[in-house]
Structure 1
Amino acid sequence: MTKVHFSDVAVMEVSNTVFKHKHATRNTLARNRMLARLTEAAEQGVLLATHDNAELMWLRRHVGTDDIAEPEPYLFCLQHDWVVLTPAERALRTIKGLAEFHPDWAFWGYDAALLWGLEVPNDLLGPRFLVKTGCSVPLSAGCRLLRPQAAGALERVDGVRVTPFWRTVEDCLLRAPFSYGLAIADSALRAKGISRDDLCERLQADCEGRHGYRRAQVIASHADGLSENGGESRFRAFFIAYGFPVPELQVKFRDPLDSSQVFRVDYFWRLEDGTCVIGELDGKGKYALQNDEGRESVDPFVAERQRESHLTMLGHKVLRFTFDELKNPGKLAEKMRLAGIPQWADLAEQWRRQWYGR
């Protein structure tokens, strides 16, 4: 037997630098892979959902760093992308992420309305509306549960299971405040091309006797598919509730300086003394000029001044509104009275009796 002495064995020492380099390389690869997945999810309009424990641990270690956020448990996104989203966009991404993480989940109420493309005011976005018997998963804003047997047949929108379109509209109108419900009802009429009478008949057939039915009918009786967005609907709700005459919507005028250009105004009042008042809700989208061949992009800050000056040349008063004015209804009402739009107490009282039932 041959004896081997330690002095005859060559021992190779591996520098710690090599181990550190390999570890750093693995971390870089993992980071690049996860950031790529987060970027892909953002491009698809969803939050990243993962069932992989290793990925989950890595993501949570890096929340608050590496530009990573966790808006809902188990759902992740790039922080810089999340902060620039509107509340509706955030809600949609959250719903789609939850649906991917929990394939058995379905959605109703305001969540389903968002997926159907209806106008859901930001103040209604928050708690999730789930079709299930219980929710053991903590959600940042809680949840509203609807038992599957009460939801009935479900449909899919963008891969997410939701209550059918008209069932969704009805659920929203049965619980929404007046101005918010009007935004949803207007967008439903606009999407389906039906009249307010059709909506009232549908509510009567499907919802009579349910809690909130009377108020849902009040909303439906004032709905108008010509309203182009939720902001316009909410201001019209103010006009109705505070006793002002309801204006005509989306009235068209030829530009007095260029007959090929057409202006479409949000509100138009024809008063008893022959005076006409144009009402305009501020917003970037409306400052594109429109001609017979379609829309032409115009710098909104320049076009705002141009549009108002041209409308004034028509010989009508132009009354501008901003969303913040809804926070002070008394001051807004005074502004309208000063513009010559009459406020009738009997109209306001009629609405109050309809809405509050007394």
Structure 2
Amino acid sequence: MKRHRKVIALLRDAEHEHRCAVPGDRALYHALRRRVGSREVVSPYPNLFADIAYWDSLNAEDRSLHMIRALARIHPKWTFAGLSAACVYGYHHAYSLHDGSVSIASPKGSGRNDADRLHRIYMRSVPRWQCRGIQVTSPARTLIDCAGMPFDQALSIFDSALRAGHVTAADVATLMVQTNCDEPAIRKLLRHVNPLRENGGESWAYARIVGLGYAEPMMQVEFDNPNSPDMPYRVDFCWKLADGRIIVAEYDGMAKYADAGNQKRASLQAKLDYERRREQDLAAQRVSAVVHFFFEDVADVTRLDDKLAEAGVPKIR
């Protein structure tokens, strides 16, 4: 299709600002729609556009943020809520939660003219905050609205918000009793929330572990490092049992090793040597088993269950 200087400039300016492009007049709108038809441009939301190659390079969270930033320009009075607010705050979460929709707080229900991908979350009184120049619900309200997600997905958002220092468990509990919400889900999340977990993967793994009925592990426990006393070993999960055994579990600690032909074999071998030495040092401190599990293990609870059971992690139910 013929090059259109104004369309190219509009798309490039939007990319520079990490948002979707918004046409300023009908001529640009129709020029962009024609390019949607020829698959040069994508329109993820009404009146929002992006170069298709650029859009394909973005992950699900970045796509949501591109739409949110553009919509905040068009609708400066909107207050983004739920997963959309969590994205703006930068809270860790699974990309699989994104379905192409945008959530806003609203004192009324869905309107007849609302876009299909607009999700309104009813709030009689909207607690408004500013984050990165975008109006969002308060951290506490954002967590309450995310509590309706599956426990193993919502926990990473709760952990991340507390880890960032944006909110406390007490703040959420106080707002919970003032709000029409899923109190059992929120109480469960507040019972398990822990800012010591360092990323969304650890939060997800922890939720799966307790969901299988295993005893709750301690988090980020430190052990002596005789080779570097000022840099102790820190493990993701740890169980100290009544019989004196200590079991350690690491989420994605060493990842999948490359094959022997990998050009980075020397550095991989150094990592393997370090991990072997580390496990020897942990064993000298009464660690009886070290479990390594990866994304695939956590995704398949049967595999995760087998690994934990083989290591001797106790179940409480």
TM-score after normalising by structure 2: 0.81
Tell me which amino acid in the other structure corresponds to 2:184.
R
* C-alpha contact (below 8 Å) 1:119/1:229 kept by paired residues: yes
Matched, 1:138 2:115: yes
CA distance in 2, matches of 1:283, 1:78: 37
Deviations 1:36-65 (A, max 9, x none): 432332232211122321111222222375
1:47 correspondence with 2:24: no
Alignment check: 8 A CA contact 2:146 2:154 kept: yes
Q: What stretches of structure 2 of length at least 5 have no aligned partner? A: 256-265
Residue pairs, 1:99-110, within 5 angstroms:
99-110=72-83
Question: Could you say what secondary structure the match of 1:192 adopts?
Answer: coil
Shift of 1:154: 1.7
Aligned ranges 1:142-291 → 2 under 5 Å: 142-147=117-122, 150-173=124-147, 175-192=148-165, 199=169, 201-208=170-177, 210-253=180-223, 255-259=225-229, 262-282=232-252
**Contact 1:256–1:313 (CA under 8 A) maintained in structure 2:** no
Backbone CA RMSD of aligned residues: 3.0
Change (3 A) 1:300 1:283: farther
Alignment partner of 1:49: what SS? coil
- Structure 1 39/130 Cα, relative in aligned 2: closer, same or farther at 3 Å? same
Q: Give the Å deviation of 1:144.
A: 2.5
Distance 2:272 2:87 in 1: 33
Q: Against the structure 1 CA distance between its residues 251 and 302, is the aligned structure 2 distance closer, same or farther, given a 3 Å change threshold?
A: farther
CA deviations on 1:163-215 (whole Å, 9 max, x unpaired) are 12222122222x23211221121112211177xxx51x434432227341122
Identity among equivalent pairs (%): 28
Aligned residue identity for 2:133: G
Aligned pair in 2 of structure 1 residues 254, 171: CA closer, same or farther (>3 Å)? same
C-alpha separation in 2, matches of 1:300 and 1:87: 32
The equivalent position to 1:329 in structure 2, one of 286, 290, 301, is: 301
Deviation at 1:119, TM superposition (A): 2.1
> What is the aligned residue count?
298
Structure 1 residue 313: deviation in Å? 2.4
1:259 is displaced (CA, Å) by 4.9
Q: Which moves more between the two structures, 305-314 or 53-62? A: 305-314
Q: Which structure features the higher share of helix residues?
A: 1
Report which of the two structures shows the higher radius of gyration computed on alpha carbons.
1
User: How big is each residue's C-alpha offset from its partner over 1:232-274, in whole Å with a ceiling of 9 and x where there is no partner?
Assistant: 1111112222221222222344655555655433222323333
Q: 1:128 aligns with which of 85, 93, 102?
A: 102
Q: Gapped runs of 5+ residues in structure 1?
A: 1-23, 286-298, 346-358
Question: Aligned with 1:179: secondary structure?
Answer: helix
Q: Which amino acid aligns with 2:83?
A: Y
